[in-house]
A and B are shown apart, each in its own frame.
Chain A
Amino acid sequence: MTIRHHLSDPLLMAYAAGQLPEAFNLVVATHVSLCDECRSRLGAFDAVGGALIEEVDEISMGEAALDAALSRIDGLPQATRAEPLKSAGIFPAPLADYIGGDLSAVRWRRIGGGVKQAILPTGSNASARLLYIPAGTAVPDHGHRGLELTLVLQGAFTDANDRFGRGDIEIADEELEHTPVALAGQDCICLAATDAPLRFRSMLPRLAQPLFRI
């Protein structure tokens, strides 16, 4: 798998700084799970935090703090290899954790034209959803008020001149009016997050929008 579309530096730095809305955290963590290049770049931004921890003015802990810590770790399970979160089918571990399983655990809702979606439970300042786009189908033409991240999990879509396959991430801002089309061959499944409601250009999806929270 060759990933050609990566996370931007500002997104990686905001994730490293802990400043992204929950829905974006999910997309970043899922992409990084698939992409060693972005995992390394994230590691470099995390290292900035490490340097700051060394520089920050220390503030003394309470007098009994170390004793308290020692007695506390005494009651904790020792540093054994805990079972890490597991990937499930096409879902890397962080996404599988949100969904509670693999593809069969997703509760899809139809939103027209054969396209299905499933809203994921995240904080309200940004929303995340899974999109299911049958092979050869277009997602209704839409622009953005805010930032939209779309990560391909299965199949591929094209948008203007670019092709996005598994692991690729499309970063769309207010400038971009686009019509992603799923490529023939395999139905396309994406994880998408946005910090503003999408606006559709045609009337019907716009009427449906409040109903489906897209």
Chain B
Amino acid sequence: MMLEATRPAMTEQSGPLQPVVVAARNGLPGKKDLTVTKAEDGTDWAGLLVRVRDRQDKAAFAQLFRHFAPRVKGFLMKSGAGAALAEECAQDVMATLWQKAHLFDPARASVSTWVYTIARNKRIDALRKDRRAEPEELDWGPEPEPDQAEAMEAQQDTERLGQALAQLPAKQRALIERAFYGDLSHSEIAAETGLPLGTIKSRIRLALDKLRHHMT
């Protein structure tokens, strides 16, 4: 199970900072200020995650954490988790993001989408205590070189989807939210979203074909 291995004793979090961590945080803006702010538009999230993956870059991780952790916490609380559990799970999600950064393919998903999938699995794990089978990972080679243009497209897809979501009639939007916040059973879920998913599907399909071509 994906998150099983990422759950060290929680006491570690209240302990004193280790010197190496302090060193890693030098030069980071914001210090302990975790007040939530909207991220500047155009932040290259995929680029930051690639820095985490390739260089174990903690400053990049901190930037991702500031943006995504409060969103994951908000998502989990909307899904029915209490504040303490949501906070703990958001920590787990961010630790998984660090640990599994090598599985992130910027051509196939935006960082937001990838974070969502980790958070969703964490929710199943924590709230439903169910096991969730995941599709076989596609190995994208020993030296994955993310295509900058593809990565930008994936991020723009997510942004456009957000705009489309905002423009949906309230009723329709509420149905989608209820499905994703775990408020509908599988037999109640209707897939008529009114969202432009076809273009996203086609782009991912192209990326997969390219990947398959590369693998053979």
Contacts and interface: CB of A to CB of B under 8 A. Distances in A.
| A and B found bound together | yes
Contacts of A49: 113, 116-117, 120, 180
B5 to A, nearest CB: 9
B204 A40 contact: yes
A210 interface: no
Interface stretch (A59-67, A107-115, A131-139, A161-169): A59-67
B133 A61 contact: no
Given A18-B132, A29-B133, A66-B34, A44 B189 contact: no
Given A66-B34, A79-B100, A61 B131 contact: no
Interface string B105-140: 000111011111101110110000011111111010
Interface stretch (A4-12, A182-190, A197-205): A4-12
A17 B35 CA distance: 29
Given A25-B133, A33-B135, A82 B162 contact: no
B65 A69 contact: yes
Contacts of B166: 55
Interface of A: 8-14, 16-22, 24-26, 28-30, 32-33, 36-37, 39-82, 84-85, 87, 92-95, 97-98, 122-123, 147
Interface of B: 6, 8, 12-15, 17-18, 20-21, 24-25, 32, 34-36, 52-53, 56, 58, 61-62, 65-66, 68-75, 77-78, 83, 86-87, 90-91, 94-95, 98-103, 108-110, 112-117, 119-121, 123-124, 130-137, 139, 157-159, 161-162, 165-166, 176-177, 179-180, 182, 184-187, 189-191, 193, 195, 197-198, 200-202, 204-205, 208-209, 212
